[in-house]
Chain A
Amino acid sequence: EAGVAQSPRYKIIEKRQSVAFWCNPISGHATLYWYQQILGQGPKLLIQFQNNGVVDDSQLPKDRFSAERLKGVDSTLKIQPAKLEDSAVYLCASSLIGQGATNEKLFFGSGTQLSVL
């Protein structure tokens, strides 16, 4: 079974530039999550999609971050403009059902490591 695919693996940009990350979840998974992981910390949820609708984006800095999930499959996360504090690993995860499920697993990709200089 193919896992969660993310690209690029690494990205280096200068502050005030824009950047986009792409995620392809496991086939058939309805729920997709984007997490931000700053060095030395646990992952923090940025946004959760159920199919192509947003379930939770309370932690997403909406003045600079945006995300979309077209047709309920792939997703992109964009930062514009980037700040130094956005340097982190951006992880995408998916699960079969998500909201309302009893106890399913989340499957994570390997992440995109972003460095903002």
Chain B
Amino acid sequence: DAKTTQPNSMESNEEEPVHLPCNHSTISGTDYIHWYRQLPSQGPEYVIHGLTSNVNNRMASLAIAEDRKSSTLILHRATLRDAAVYYCILRDIGSSNTGKLIFGQGTTLQVKP
């Protein structure tokens, strides 16, 4: 599976936008970009996913570079409840797809009041 690179940690102020970067230079044509987050003492939860075009949902936006070698998760207005570990995961939906997710280290986001 292709790998992703994320910063270990980031800080943000409450009510400001947050841009969480992810590099995936070896991404293949059948890899979707998924983001999950893990709040303290909880299991990971789905945030958003995309292939080529930018995506928006009620939780966040996903901006994907034109060459697909990087992407950015955007939280438009961070709240204290957004403090979590954010995982950027490439998911191959080709013939080898088993449905599993392979997690890296993720980015720990701190939100300051």
Contact = CB atoms under 8 A, between A and B. Distances in A.
Nearest to A44: B103
B101 A100 contact: no
B99 A98 contact: yes
Interface stretch (B20-28, B63-71, B72-80, B90-98): B90-98
A7 interface: no
A77 B112 CA distance: 39
Interface string A80-117: 00000000000101010111111111111111000000
B99 A104 contact: yes
A92 B99 CA distance: 14
Nearest to A33: B100
A61 interface: no
Contacts of A24: none
Contact of A42 (B98, B99, B103): B103
A110 to B, nearest CB: 5
A14 interface: no
Nearest to A101: B99
Interface in A42-89: 42-45, 48, 55-56
Contacts of B36: 106
Contact of A99 (B87, B98, B102): B98
B99 A99 contact: yes
Contacts of A35: 103
Nearest to A43: B103
| Residue of A95, A97, A108 with highest tally of chain B CB at under 10 A | A108
A109 B87 CA distance: 17
Contacts of A93: 43-44
B13 to A, nearest CB: 25
A102 B49 CA distance: 12
